[in-house]
Amino acid sequence: MRRKITLILIIIICYLLQSTVFQAFDFAGITPNLMIIIVSSVGFMWGRKEGMFVGIICGLLIDIFCGFYLGVYALLYMYIGYINGFFQKRFYPDDIKLPMLLISASDIVCNLVIYLIMFLLRGRFDFLYYLKAIIIPEFIYTMVISIFLYYVLLKICQGVEVHEKRRAKKFDL
């Protein structure tokens, strides 16, 4: 229960930041993708199930407020969360390399899929341009933000886990 409430709060706060504050702090029209950081991090910290559900919620939020067809982002983020969950076994909190790698891979894959279905299929073939103008700038900006956001998320997740363990012990005794 505590996990769910924490996650929903994190998602709402990050969505609000992304849709309002970061719109004002954009670099050449590019805003960072906070949602992908959350989906990916929760995936590799807590596993497939949590990653999947967080992906669904984040995706639906984006679909409702700025998507084109209801369900595209939800489907995409769900799979990203789920796939990140496979890396839970290899995840160690002290090692920042794997989280950064996973978050950046998720961001790039997400943007590639959006390019494929929404641009390539409509005859916008200049992939290199979109790579330079959208995918790479967003990737860099997201990475910069994720260095901070990752540690915040890690601390929150560890706090929740410590609390859960304490409660479990109480019940054991």
Partner 1 sequence: MKSFHKKKKHISTKYWLLIFTGIFVISIMLSMTLSLSGGPLNAIAGYVLVPMQKGINDAGKWISSKANEFKTLSEVLEENQKLQEQVDELTVELNTTKLEAYELDNLRELLELDAKYPSYEKVAACVIAGDSSNWFDSFTIDKGSKDGIEVGMNVIAGSGLVGIITDVGSTYSKVRSIVSDSSNVSAMVTTTGDNFNVSGNLKTMNESQVITFSELRDKDDEVTIGTPIVTSYVSDQYQQGILIGYISSIETNSNNLTKSGTITPVVDFEHLQEVLVILQKKETGAELDQPKDTESSDTETSGTESSEVSTEESSEEASQDDSVTQQDTAGQE
Residue 128 interacts with partner 1 (CB under 8 A): yes or no: no
CB of 32 to partner 1, least distance (A): 9
Distance CA 43, CA 45 (A): 6
Residue 33 interacts with partner 1 (CB under 8 A): yes or no: yes
- Judged by CB under 8 A, the residue of 44, 46, 82, 87 near partner 1 is 82
Residue 70 interacts with partner 1 (CB under 8 A): yes or no: yes
Residue 107 interacts with partner 1 (CB under 8 A): yes or no: no
> Distance of CA 113 to CAs 41, 77, 93, 121, 173, Å?
20, 11, 29, 11, 50
Residue 34 or 157: the one with the smaller Cβ distance to partner 1 is 34
- By CB under 8 A, the residues from 38 to 57 that bind partner 1 are 48-49, 52, 56
Determine how many CB atoms are found less than 10 A away from the CB of residue 142.
Answer: 24
Distance CA 66, CA 74 (A): 12
- Judged by CB under 8 A, the residue of 100, 105, 119, 154 near partner 1 is 119
28: phi then psi, degrees, rounded to nearest 5: 50, 45
